[in-house]
């Protein structure tokens, strides 16, 4: 019975892969639209050829043996074996080359610098004319209808930035700066994923991409640039004290506090992000507490040390503090 269900499951898998927040076939960006069109034209071409070839094969199989002249035979081989595939393949190739988007086209204002870390994404926004960047992590926000430029880097090993709903895929290579640009066509929330094996938590290296209308995007960037507003509850304050006392600021920055570390993700507005630990967790108090307690239990090889020696109440307080950093 399991075997009988397999084809149905496979068909379900193929069909559901066509829509959703991480699909090249459900595009929400200029370049992704072109790539999806190209895919469907190539599939249509392949279907026509498949039907034609199988039709001929079926005909040859059923046909009564009938001698043909050597001249006709030579023409069949020359025409069917050389001219026909050359014309068809050259046609599809030149169509493909003519529509493939220039993924390195220059941007129109915003530049986002994204660095692949083990195993998360460091994000820095450079709005037009900015002299210093606005930092974030594991979440990239783009304005709709405007071509944004990405500069892609890596710290230790090769990663690959893949955001199929909006654009293609570009490697992030240590010692190099790769460029890519993209133009979202509609507001929405999408999922991206590291697409180059980069170590034990490669599969847990995802990010969220959010596309906002230009005026919402400006408001978002303004909020992001502002220092953190800590929660003014008693637990939140206790959490802040614990965060600073246990040296978390040695690795993390929270702008507006003494925490200025640069090793781990910037946590200034971590409470308003759409994911935690590069897509492994949600930004909730229980998930934050679980992460602080033992990151490696959630994500193999995570560089952050475990804090399971601390009093659980203190960990919950830190989680409340971080969740409150909106």
Binding site for ligand CUA (CB under 6 A): 116, 119, 159, 194, 196-198, 202, 205
Specify the residue, 206 or 325, whose C-beta has the smaller distance to ligand CUA: 206
Q: How far is the CB of 82 from ligand CUA (least distance, A)?
A: 43
Specify the residue, 198 or 319, whose C-beta has the smaller distance to ligand CUA: 198
Which 3 state secondary structure label does DSSP give 170? strand
Q: How far is the CB of 201 from ligand CUA (least distance, A)?
A: 8
Q: How far is the CB of 103 from ligand CUA (least distance, A)?
A: 19
Whether 23 and 162 have beta carbons less than 8 Å apart is answered as: no
Task: Report the distance separating Cα 228 and Cα 135, nearest Å.
Answer: 12
Widest Cα–Cα separation across the chain: 96
Whether 187 and 144 have beta carbons less than 8 Å apart is answered as: yes
Specify the residue, 196 or 314, whose C-beta has the smaller distance to ligand CUA: 196
Q: How far is the CB of 10 from ligand CUA (least distance, A)?
A: 26
Residues, the chain, total? 326
Q: What are phi and psi of 77, to 5 degrees?
A: -65, -45
Specify the residue, 49 or 157, whose C-beta has the smaller distance to ligand CUA: 157
Which 3 state secondary structure label does DSSP give 169? strand
Q: How far is the CB of 116 from ligand CUA (least distance, A)?
A: 5
For 244-300, the DSSP string reads HHTTGGGT-B-TTSS-B--SS---TTGGG-S-BTTTTB-SSHHHHHHHHH-HHHHST
Whether 19 and 170 have beta carbons less than 8 Å apart is answered as: no
Specify the residue, 198 or 248, whose C-beta has the smaller distance to ligand CUA: 198
Tokens representing residue 307 in the block = 């804090």
Specify the residue, 122 or 240, whose C-beta has the smaller distance to ligand CUA: 122
Q: How far is the CB of 81 from ligand CUA (least distance, A)?
A: 43
Task: Report the distance separating Cα 133 and Cα 110, nearest Å.
Answer: 11
């Amino acid at each position: 019975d399991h075997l009988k269900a397999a084809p149905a499951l496979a068909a379900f898998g193929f069909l559901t892969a066509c829509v959703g927040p991480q699909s090249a076939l459900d595009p929400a960006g200029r370049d992704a639209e072109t790539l999806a069109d190209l895919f469907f034209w190539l599939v249509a071409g392949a279907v026509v050829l498949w039907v034609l070839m199988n039709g001929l094969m079926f005909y040859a199989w059923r046909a009564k043996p009938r001698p043909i002249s050597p001249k006709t035979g030579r023409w069949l081989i020359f025409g069917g074996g050389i001219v026909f595939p050359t014309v068809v393949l050259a046609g599809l190739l030149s169509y493909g080359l003519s529509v493939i988007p220039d993924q390195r086209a220059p941007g129109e204002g915003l530049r986002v610098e994204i660095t692949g870390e083990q195993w998360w994404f460091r994000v820095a926004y450079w709005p037009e004319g900015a002299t210093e960047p606005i930092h974030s992590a594991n979440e990239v926000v783009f304005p709709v209808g405007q071509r944004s430029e990405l500069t892609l880097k890596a710290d230790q090993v090769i990663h690959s930035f893949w955001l199929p709903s909006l654009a293609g895929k570009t490697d992030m290579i240590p010692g190099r700066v790769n460029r890519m640009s993209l133009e979202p066509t509609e507001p929405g929330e999408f999922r991206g994923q590291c697409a180059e094996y980069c170590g034990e938590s490669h599969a847990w290296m995802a990010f969220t991409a959010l596309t906002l209308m230009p005026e919402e995007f400006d408001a978002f960037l303004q909020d992001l640039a502002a220092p953190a507003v800590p929660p003014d509850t008693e637990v939140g304050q206790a959490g802040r004290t614990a965060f600073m006392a246990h040296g978390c600021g040695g690795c993390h920055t929270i702008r507006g506090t003494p925490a200025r570390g640069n090793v781990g993700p910037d946590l200034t507005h971590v409470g308003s992000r759409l994911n935690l630990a590069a897509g492994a967790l949600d930004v909730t108090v229980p998930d934050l507490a679980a992460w602080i307690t033992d990151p490696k239990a959630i994500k193999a090889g995570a560089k952050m040390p475990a804090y399971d020696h601390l009093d659980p109440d203190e960990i919950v307080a830190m989680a409340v503090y971080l969740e409150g950093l909106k």
